[in-house]
């Protein structure tokens, strides 16, 4: 796919980005390189390659979910900066 400065100007206009002439030139070269690389990737035969989600085998390591005693609320509230009764008190953020 060919990319020219008019295409980049149009995309920049759609994205509401103001580009200097130097930036326009730089982006033209960079986008052309990216699109050329994508064209190279399209030519690779991947029919015999199985899809993967990661290049290395990854296994999740889960621990057993063993129920235990909860922290008593009064111990949790003892370290609270501020409390009201049996609840944490936090500053109001919605007016």
- At 1 the pLDDT is 60
Distance in angstroms (rounded) separating the CA atoms of residues 49 and 29: 32
Please give the average per-residue pLDDT across 8-14, as a whole number. 90
Residue 19 falls within a domain, yes or no? yes
Q: Is residue 11 part of a domain?
A: yes
Whether residue 74 is contained in a domain is answered as: no
Strand partners, 16: none
Residue 83 lies in a domain: no
Q: What is the CATH number of the domain that holds 18?
A: 1.10.20
**Length of the chain measured in residues:** 95
The parent domain of residue 10 ranges over: 5-42
pLDDT tens track for 16-65 = 999 999 999 998 889 889 999 999 999 999 888 888 777 788 888 888 98
Of the candidates 16, 26, 35, the residue with the CA atom closest to the CA atom of residue 5: 26
Domain count, the chain: 1
- The tokens for 72 are 């008593």
CA distance 35 to 41: 10
Give the per-residue pLDDT at 42. Answer: 92
Of 75, 71, 72, 77, the C-alpha closest to 89 is: 77
Per-residue confidence band for 5, with pLDDT thresholds at 50, 70 and 90: confident
On whether residue 81 sits in a domain, the answer given is no
Q: Is residue 55 part of a domain?
A: no
């Amino acid at each position: 796919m060919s990319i020219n400065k008019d295409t980049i100007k149009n995309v920049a206009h759609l994205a509401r980005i103001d580009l200097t002439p130097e930036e326009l030139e730089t982006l033209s070269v960079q986008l052309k390189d990216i699109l050329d690389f994508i064209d190279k990737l399209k030519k690779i035969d991947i029919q015999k390659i199985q899809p993967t989600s990661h290049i290395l085998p990854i296994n999740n390591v889960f621990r057993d979910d063993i129920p235990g005693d909860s922290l008593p609320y009064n111990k949790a509230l003892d370290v609270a900066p501020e409390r009201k009764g049996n609840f944490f008190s936090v500053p109001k953020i919605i007016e």
